[in-house]
């Protein structure tokens, strides 16, 4: 094929097919045999239905893709190659693996340049990508920071979320939908920190946003890195040591959902949790709320049950005591009533027998009294009678002895009578009916009457001689 001269006019040109046929023939002439090629399978692109496989082969340096070419493993060879690979590595061919493959180079006018893989050397399982990743991991471990983020004590409920994502991405949309429309009314606070999540810019972009979040870290419980879909090639930056270190050392737990299901990147490995998809990150956070809510509910139900149980047992105790009390008092009352009845019966009995006894005694006394008094009367009567007799006798004796004396005295008394005194010449003078014994009671010219034995006469007082008496 000769050079194109721009000065020539009219311009000489080739049809596209002529050009591609030319390229095809050059390639066929140049690459005549098969070649061993070391490459990483960025994406395997295996179609189970047809059995064909169209791996994207890449070569990278420090995470940056330097070369990329589409390859083909036809169904007929894929089984053999994969079987051979698995038998040695214990892993099926998959994304991210560096392989040593024998290829032929072909060019197709429609499909372009491609490699046909016809054989594989499984000992080359660790590709450049995996090597870098391993190196990153080793370094992180060596610096003792690999598990730093995992060791953080997360908030019981990760409620305040700093989201590193792309506002327009499906992943961000899925995530916010799940947490803000949760059926339990759990309240999240979310704030987006927009970042570029694919390609080489990832490292700086995420690191920058992490620094911003760090300034306001007291307002957040968790950082989520959410990415929706995209190819594996764009993820090589997530194996970057610098970024992984920033994630590992971040003071808040970081949860990743960058949608890469086949092979965990270093960032995902060092993150607090890798939930792979944004949706799963959302469910994970909601689950934390559930866990907290369950703790509250458990506490609540135990409280209610235990309280019921305790108050029931207290009530039973009380009922028991009050029933014992009732029984005891009933018993006591019953016993006392019995005693009372018995006592009153006893009392009546004792009283009656006492009265009866006293009555007998009384009757006895009465009887004795009447007998004794009869005897006494008889005795008295007897004595009286005796006295009477003695009296009679005494009187008789007395009378007899005194009879003589009496007759003498009688005679003497007779001589003392006034008649005999007057007869012997004595008189009695009276004044106004009163016997005069003393002339002092008389005055001159008083009329006095004098009684003599044979009669009376009146005389007038002439003078009064007063005797010395």
Partner 1 sequence: MKKDIPYTEAIEELEKIVSSIENEDINVDDLSRKVKRAAELINICKDKLHNTEEEVNSILKEINN
Using the 8-state DSSP alphabet, how is residue 4 labeled? P
**Which of 160/227 has CB closer to partner 1?**
160
Vertex 260 angle, CA 292 and 216, to 5°:
50
Site for partner 1 in 154-173 (CB under 8 A): 155-157, 159-160
- Which among 16, 5, 289 is positioned nearest to 159, based on CA atoms? 289
**Which of 299/321 has CB closer to partner 1?**
299
Q: Which of 14, 36, 189, 398 binds partner 1 (CB under 8 A)?
A: 189
Q: Which two tokens stand for residue 360?
A: 């007998």
What crossing angle do the helices spanning 170-180 and 278-415 adopt, rounded to 10°? Answer: 10
**C-alpha–C-alpha distance, residues 58 and 49, integer Å:** 25
- Which among 9, 88, 107, 98 is positioned nearest to 55, based on CA atoms? 98
224 is a site residue for partner 1 (CB under 8 A): no
Long-range contacts of 393-400 (CB under 8 A, 24+ apart): none
Does the bond joining 10 to the residue before it have cis omega, within 30 degrees of 0? Answer: yes
175 is a site residue for partner 1 (CB under 8 A): no
The sign of the CA dihedral 103, 107, 110, 114 is: positive
**Which of 63/282 has CB closer to partner 1?**
282
**Which of 314/381 has CB closer to partner 1?**
314
Rounded to the nearest whole angstrom, what is the least distance from the CB of residue 293 to partner 1 in the complex? 6
Contact at 8 Å (CB) between 191 and 132?
Answer: no
289 is a site residue for partner 1 (CB under 8 A): yes
Where does this chain touch partner 1 (CB under 8 A) — which range of 29-37, 131-139, 211-219, 238-246?
211-219
302 is a site residue for partner 1 (CB under 8 A): yes
Rounded to the nearest whole angstrom, what is the least distance from the CB of residue 165 to partner 1 in the complex? 15
311 is a site residue for partner 1 (CB under 8 A): yes
3-state secondary structure of 376: helix
Rounded to the nearest whole angstrom, what is the least distance from the CB of residue 121 to partner 1 in the complex? 52
**Which of 185/425 has CB closer to partner 1?**
185
Q: Which of 108, 219, 356, 456 binds partner 1 (CB under 8 A)?
A: 219
Q: What are phi and psi of 395, to 5 degrees?
A: -60, -45
**Which of 177/212 has CB closer to partner 1?**
212
3-state secondary structure of 96: coil
Count other C-beta atoms under 10 Å from residue 122's C-beta: 18
343 is a site residue for partner 1 (CB under 8 A): no
Where does this chain touch partner 1 (CB under 8 A) — which range of 69-77, 118-126, 287-295, 406-414?
287-295
Question: Contact residues for partner 1 (CB under 8 A)?
Answer: 155-157, 159-160, 184-189, 191, 212, 215-216, 219, 289, 292-293, 295-296, 298-300, 302-303, 306-307, 310-311, 314
């Amino acid at each position: 094929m000769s050079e194109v001269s721009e000065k020539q006019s009219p311009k000489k040109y080739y049809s596209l097919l002529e050009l591609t046929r030319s390229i095809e023939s050059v390639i066929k002439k140049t690459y005549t045999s098969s070649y061993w090629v070391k490459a990483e399978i960025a994406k395997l692109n295996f179609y189970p239905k047809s059995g064909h496989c169209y791996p994207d082969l890449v070569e990278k340096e420090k995470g940056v893709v330097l070369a990329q070419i589409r390859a083909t493993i036809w169904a007929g060879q894929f089984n053999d190659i994969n079987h051979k690979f698995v038998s040695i590595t214990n892993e099926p061919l998959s994304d991210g693996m560096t392989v040593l493959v024998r290829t032929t180079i072909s060019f197709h006018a429609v499909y372009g340049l491609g490699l046909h893989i016809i054989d594989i050397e499984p000992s080359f399982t660790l590709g450049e990508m995996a090597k870098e990743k391993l190196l990153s991991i080793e370094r992180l471990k060596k610096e003792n920071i690999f598990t730093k983020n995992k060791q953080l004590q997360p908030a019981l409920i990760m409620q305040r979320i700093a989201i590193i994502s792309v506002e327009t991405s499906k992943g961000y949309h899925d995530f916010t939908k799940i947490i803000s429309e949760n059926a339990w009314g759990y309240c999240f606070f979310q704030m987006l920190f927009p970042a570029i999540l694919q390609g080489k810019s990832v490292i700086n972009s995420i690191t920058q946003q992490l620094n911003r979040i760090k300034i306001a870290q007291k307002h957040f419980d968790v950082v989520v890195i959410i990415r929706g879909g995209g190819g594996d090639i764009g993820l090589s930056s997530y194996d970057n040591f610098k970024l992984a270190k920033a994630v590992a050392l971040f003071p808040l737990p970081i949860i990743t959902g960058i949608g890469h299901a086949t092979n965990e990147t270093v960032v995902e490995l060092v993150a607090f949790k890798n939930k792979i998809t944004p949706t799963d990150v959302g469910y994970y956070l909601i689950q934390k709320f559930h866990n907290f809510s369950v703790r509250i509910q458990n506490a609540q139900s135990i409280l209610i049950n235990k309280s019921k149980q305790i108050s029931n047992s207290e009530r039973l105790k009380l009922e028991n005591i009050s029933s014992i009390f009732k029984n005891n008092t009933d018993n006591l009352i019953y016993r006392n009533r019995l005693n009372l009845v018995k006592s009153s019966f006893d009392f009546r009995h004792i009283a009656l027998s006492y009265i009866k006894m006293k009555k007998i005694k009384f009757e006895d006394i009465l009887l004795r009294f009447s007998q004794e008094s009869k005897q006494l009367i008889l005795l008295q009567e007897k004595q009286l009678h005796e006295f009477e007799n003695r009296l009679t006798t005494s009187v008789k004796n007395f009378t007899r002895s005194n009879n003589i004396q009496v007759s003498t005295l009688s005679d003497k008394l007779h001589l003392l009578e006034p008649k005999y005194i007057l007869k012997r010449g004595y008189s009695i003078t009276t004044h106004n009916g009163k016997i005069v014994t003393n002339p002092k009671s008389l005055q001159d010219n008083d009329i006095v009457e004098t009684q003599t034995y044979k009669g009376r006469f009146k005389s007038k007082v002439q003078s009064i001689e007063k005797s010395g008496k």
